Amino acid sequence: MSLDNNNNATELPSPYLLFVGDVVEPGFAKTAFGLRDWAADKCIGEYACDPAAVRTGLPQLSPADAAARGAKAMVIAVANRGGVIPPHWRPALIEALAAGLDLIAGMHSRLTDVPGLAQAAQDHGRRLFDVRTPPAGLPIATGRKRSGKRLLTVGTDCALGKKYTALALADAFAARGVAVDFRASGQTGIMIAGGGIPMDSIVSDFEAGAAESLSPDAAPDHWDVIEGQGSLLHPAYAAVSLGLLHGSQPDVFVVCHEPGRAHLLGVPDYGVPTVEEIVDLTIALGRRTNPAIRCAGFAYNTAALDADAAAALMARDAERLGLPVADPIRRGAAFDQLVASCLGVP
């Protein structure tokens, strides 16, 4: 996988040193684990400012040692509550700049808002990348059909595996010898891919245009596997989902779902829609920019179930829905069927 040169998408310097700060809660280090698991070739080591911090298993390196081994940037690979960069991380960030590394962050608070950091970057001739800051000059969508094939992961809610599913499918496509690019639409995905567009940070008028820029014309047998965002039935984020759907003009989509999740994450008054509702709406809206759109199957996040219960549930739902249902983390035969269904091969 690689990210083609694309004037409208952010491109990040790598390889990375992963900064884990003093974060001890693994749930707040998802970016670090995601980068380790999905961008191993981009990760040279980890750097903590507290010995109790989470461990990724990568070599522990100082910024100077990482730079000597070829690192080009230090990524803030952890978050803390509120998404702010605390003042006591500042010395470590400046140490990285002094060692010749650029800084990359995807938090709500920006690197350029940390007092003194912009000046330190300038003094050391380094750059600050806030991956939530969208690229300039995004176009209004044209709706013109682009060459190449596209897959989009969609969902019944946020945070149930749309990025993971897209990465797993792109990997499986590549393993079958298919030319494929993973296209990242959120901050962690952008760090993994080394580029992409933060779709939730785009001005609405340009949302579909940004999605068009994210997956440009490609060879006829090339696949872009695009990370989805939100849900068409999410009361806050559906605008992001629809702009991404229209601009991606996917040939194929996979619906991501977490069985047993009763309510939308953080929106207790809203139940999770059924996968059938999402299939119907995705086709009704998506066929506007790609009349050939089809659902290839379902990616279930079954982390809450044991292996037997998960397998039984997915087999039952595959029978009912008439399409493959697989957990991209558990893999197995069902996942192979999902991959084949996406590619339209036996």
Closest distance of CB 32 from its own copies, Å: 24
Among 246, 297, 318, 327, the residue binding its own copies under the rule CB under 8 A is 246
Between 186 and 328, CB nearer to its own copies = 186
Supply the angle between the helices 238-248 and 207-214 in degrees, to the nearest 10. 50
Q: What is the C-alpha to C-alpha distance for residues 113 and 12, in angstroms, rounded to an integer?
A: 20
Among 45, 209, 216, 228, binds its own copies (CB under 8 A): 209
Residue 44's nearest CA partner among 28, 56, 54 is 56
Contact string (CB under 8 A) for its own copies, positions 9-48, x = contact? ----------------------------------------
> Is the backbone peptide bond immediately before 15 cis, with ω within 30 degrees of 0?
yes
Q: Which of 112, 142, 147, 274 binds its own copies (CB under 8 A)?
A: 142
Contacting residue, 123, 205, 217, 276, with its own copies by CB under 8 A? 205
Task: Write down the least CB distance from residue 202 to its own copies, Å.
Answer: 6
Q: Between 58 and 281, whose beta carbon lies closer to its own copies? A: 281
DSSP per-residue codes, 215-232: S----TT-EEEEPP-S-T
* C-alpha span between 253 and 130 (Å, rounded): 29
Cβ–Cβ < 8 Å for 36, 77: no
# binding residues, its own copies (CB under 8 A) = 36
The whole-angstrom separation of Cα 51 and Cα 114 is: 24
Burial of 189 (0-12, 13-18, 19+ CB in 10 A): buried
Rg (CA), the chain: 20
Out of 66, 94, 242, 305, the only residue in the binding site for its own copies (CB under 8 A) is 242
Query: Quick check: helix, strand or coil at residue 44?
Result: strand
Q: Are 85 and 105 in contact (CB under 8 A)?
A: yes
Nearer to its own copies, 290 or 341 (CB): 290
Using CB under 8 A, which residues numbered 258 to 297 contact its own copies?
267, 269-270, 280-281, 284-285, 288-289
- Which helix (H) or strand (E) segment is 183 a member of? strand 180-183
Max CA separation in the chain (angstroms): 62
User: Contact with its own copies (CB under 8 A): which of 67, 103, 170, 199?
Assistant: 199
Instruction: Give the interface segment with its own copies, choosing from 9-17, 59-67, 140-148, 333-341 (CB under 8 A).
Output: 140-148
Check residue 253 for interaction with its own copies (CB under 8 A): no
> Which range of residues in 98-106, 109-117, 166-174, 199-207 is near its own copies by CB under 8 A?
199-207
User: Whole-number minimum distance, CB 267 to its own copies, in Å?
Assistant: 6
CB contact set of 121 (below 8 Å; sequence gap of 6+): 97, 102, 103, 127, 128
239 near its own copies, judged by CB under 8 A? yes
Tell me: does residue 200 bind its own copies (CB under 8 A): yes
- The residues that touch its own copies, with contacts defined as CB under 8 A, are 140-144, 199-205, 207-209, 232-233, 235-240, 242-243, 246-247, 267, 269-270, 280-281, 284-285, 288-289
